[in-house]
Structure 1
């Protein structure tokens, strides 16, 4: 018996969720007004993983307009494929806390995999301050390159006070004694309340927002804040009477693709040039384990 089958037998609610997603996926399509992130006007693009537009608008932490735009992806892997695969990115440095980038051969001037050296085994994610430190260092090391700075927050695991009370990490495997394997599976099965998840989600956002102020004070250029995708809380995304939680790939519902777009004022732009060649690809260990911690397996 394969490990996938064994995992399914241990976690039938996870199997049910995947079936629901596969049933509705053919009946969803991209909103007509999605953007290509790499083609937009920015020097520094800050990506808050899985940040809904309305979540950031509710926080209202900045004295600048928060616009709503639509991502061309509902999942980080799609975000990478749609925006960076087969694209000349040699004028850009990518700083990422997401292990999703380990599977791709991309043509950036440099990719800093912060998750490699700064994975918090207890929290099962990367603390936002480690991403900020790496971004500021690389901004000085590559003054002639644009920057993309990809934080894991507000994506699960939730590391604020409410999140720490949630007894299940969002993984596709048994964890901490729960028979449910994902926070979104738990939510769909009624094992955790939507109010609790929303509170923990907002706390994750509150933990990362102060990092934006530090980036603005340390880095020169036009900084734009956005997200790769959002999250769903049991929305019926097609005519089928099926409700979807989380951010499955290929579910391009407008509520899921709606992400914030915040353009901050700036004094000077970064003057950028292309590197002679793209950075070499790397080999990584324990990518699967990190992705399980984040709920991707």
Structure 2
């Protein structure tokens, strides 16, 4: 039995070293030059696998996604239909995402960008501030990461709501569910956070029409967007147009199409946009490898795989 890494854009040496550390008895191989006899390979962990690679493994039993999302794997048109896919859902990954969301909600709430500009200009500007309870945060996508972020923001005093496919029961967090309640969710939201999975239904959901339905009653007079989900969920031109028209106060964007964000993109230089390089929840190789190795052990013991993906839903 062998395990294969398929990581065309990641530092594969770092990942193989981490896997050998947490699972020293595992036969670890790498695509494309270190695959050996493909008949031996029963498990693979991948990110953006080139079409045909996974299909070429005749005895593959499980595909592991090295991120919380699986769109980078599902986009392979040659992916076999009968092989289960599992995704990472580790407390380390969740904690990193929560840190990012809380950081950027607080950055906008406490107007840190304004303070930074004043420091550069040596301006002492004692502007009015507001309390956390005056700001309504709405999170799209209430899975493990969305729920954890909602709880931490709730504890800081923000008025928090979540929107998801099904209703959630989370103390102190208002729940909205389904398309029928989407507009009501937007209408009460001053800061819109996207942690949605990448599916055809969520593609382009952060558009001009969505922005115009957000609350204008908050302390900034216009809403704020934070997207740490997937780049295909945002319409960049609509965000820029809404910012310039005063329909949007500010945006923090961690994900883009394409990535890396091209140097000529106006998002880099817009004064009300914060760009981060898809780092909201970086995958720590050793932590993620330990998670993958345990899932392999579970499968070999005949136990149910942890975080099995529903392909029909896309997550």
- TM-score computed with the length of structure 2 as normaliser: 0.30
TM-score computed with the length of structure 1 as normaliser: 0.32
> Which structure has the higher relative contact order (CA within 8 Å, separation 6+)?
1
Structure of greater Rg: 2
